[in-house]
Amino acid sequence: MYERKPIKRPLRNQDLRAAIEGAGLRYWWVAEELGIAHGTLSNWLRRELLPEDRQRILAAIQRLADRLGAQAPEPSRREVTLEARATLPGQGW
């Protein structure tokens, strides 16, 4: 029996991805700014976009970068006290 090789597809919309990451944004922030689900944005970025859609995404990135000063806050960490750790199910602490 032969071994099946995975198909390597080119990564599309690299300029949009670089703009999001370069501004320090999260993909879900951009999706929220666009009024869509983050999975929808992920799907959009996997295919070739119409020029109007590309501009819409770039405008959302620019609005967020301007609003945040092109610096995104650090992701929040859930603070848990030692006493509370014992009550968390399935944490394996």
pTM: 0.66
Distance CA 45, CA 72 (A): 21
C-alpha pair distances (Å), 44 with each of 21, 25, 76, 85, 91 = 16, 17, 27, 40, 35
Confidence at 77, pLDDT banded by 50, 70, 90: very low
Name the DSSP letter for residue 8.
Answer: -
pLDDT digits (tens, 9 = 90+) for 37-50: 999 999 999 999 99
